[in-house]
Amino acid sequence: VNHYLERIESNAHLNAFVDVYSEEALRFAADVDIKIQNGTAGRLAGLVIGLKDVLAHKGHGVQAGSQILNTYHSPYTATAVQRLLDEDAIVIGRQNCDEFAMGSSNENSSFGPVLNAADNTKVPGGSSGGSAVAVQAGLCHASLGSDTGGSVRQPAAFCGVVGVKPSYGRVSRWGLLAYASSFDCIGPITKSIEDAALILEIMAGSDEFDSTVSAKDVPSYTENLGWNGKAKIGYILDTIENEAIAPEIREQTLEVLNRLRSQGHEVTPVEMPLLDYLLPTYYILTTAEASSNLSRFDGVRYGSRAAENGDLEALYKNTRTEGFGEEVRRRILLGTFVLSANYYDAYYTKAQRVRRLVREETERFFEKFDFLISPVTPTTAFTIGEKTEDPLQMYLADIFTVQANVVGNPAISIPNGLDKNGMPIGIQIMAPFFKEEKMLSFANHLS
Ligand code: GLN
């Protein structure tokens, strides 16, 4: 803990943490030490973790990177976090992120941007930017992030670390501040696949507080990391041939596919015609869900309240105008629009239908293949400020990651070399629903 506290301090310029629990973490570590001596320590004894600022942790602030929750302290702990604490993990602090997990560069945080440790002029990705940089820069062993449309995998790729998005319903969302409830997943960001497997197997499994969590048994991911046999791998032609993809990412993805082929795996290009509709579907449905989820922040129930609050409407309006940043307001407006009486069928209902079609197309794919391999992002980490003026450009960065959330499947991002400027490149493996075990062992084989 002392080592990490020093690292956090000497890397304060990265802005990865918004709160550090120095004394508490040291106290906790001393307790764990005693347990180790007594032989009663849990499976995560000594693991120092950070939490993305969207996870409830009793007695601690949680703000989702927003000013609207600046006075809020959580009265309870998220199930996923509690399960790690029960195994004696030590929480060292909470980590910077895009406001309400909306963003791909961590530039939408009210705490200011996070800097990529590989090059401080570049973004770390988002929305779990602080969590990825904390692992990249060695400020903690592992982080917990949340992934609604890539927010664990994309920053992991930009920072050269491992990020896992489990199947929807594998890990309880209880205590995760909601962005888009039917997409949100909690996932680990780690240095190794083994660490990710360990954290995931401890977090996963049914929870009486979240009815969307599956009661399916959780396999031992760590015991089954050895891969043997041949896999059937599909890749989408367009993810390789597309002009928008940086040449080095294309080459290094192809290199992996060729290597797998030469090892005797079956590697086949496929077409997925619905790919073009993924981003619109994702942004229509998530903004709709967000506009509903975020309506609870009204200046009455949680967090801060505007000083000027003449009548009820002014109270709502002023609190929300002052408390929410620009991107969150943009998405609430968009979501409210697509849910409004005149446009509901044209946008929301249609997007739900497309979601179903994409799910069916993905299911058909996995009837034939074990894994879908793709780049994680079309480019490596971009320069801070480069895309802030153009939200659509920013949304396009999510092209490869949103499919897993639209359909609910698990996906992992693992490091796949560097570009010529030394910026990390990632590669993504998507697996069938609830096949995390297979996905992790194959990722381990590949890495
Ligand atoms: N970049 C995506 C968005 O802005 C993903 C966010 C996320 O996964 N939380 O919505």
Q: Which residue's CA is the closest to the ligand 1 atom numbered 5?
A: 149
CA of 329 to the centre of ligand 1 (A): 15
Q: What are phi and psi of 220, to 5 degrees?
A: -80, 100
Supply the ipTM of this predicted assembly: 0.97
Mutate to test the pocket of ligand 1, among 53, 108, 151 (most ligand atoms within 8 A of CB): 151
Tokens of 248: 């080095």
Q: How far is the CA of 33 from the centre of ligand 1 (A)?
A: 38
Choose among 105, 157, 162, 102: nearest CA to 129: 105
| pLDDT value of position 397 | 83
Q: Element (H or E) spanning 164, and its range? A: strand 162-165
Ordered DSSP codes for 300-357: SSSS---S--SSHHHHHHHHHHHHS-HHHHHHHHHHHHHHSTTTIIIIIIHHHHHHHH
Cα 16–chain centre separation:
15
- CA 196–ligand 1 middle distance (angstroms): 21
What would the pLDDT profile of 234-282 be if each residue is shown by its tens digit?
999 888 888 889 999 999 999 999 999 999 999 999 998 898 899 999 9
CATH numbers and ranges of domains, the chain: 2-203 (3.90.1300.10)
Cα 224 to ligand 1 centre (Å):
31
Kindly tell me if the per-residue pLDDT of 331 is higher than 90.
yes
Average pLDDT over residues 79-101: 98
Percent of residues in the chain assigned helix, strand, coil, to nearest 5: 40, 15, 45
Active site residues: 52, 127, 151
Of 102, 176, 392, which is best to mutate to test ligand 1, by the most ligand atoms within 8 angstroms of its C-beta? 102
Asked if the model's pLDDT at residue 445 lies above 80, the reply is yes
pLDDT at 292: 97
Query: Which residue CA neighbors atom 4 of ligand 1 most closely?
Result: 103
Which residues have any ligand 1 atom within 6 Å of their CB?
A: 101-104, 127, 146-151, 179, 286, 398
Angle at 16 between CA 113 and CA 179, to 5 degrees: 70
- pLDDT, greater one: 304 or 263: 263
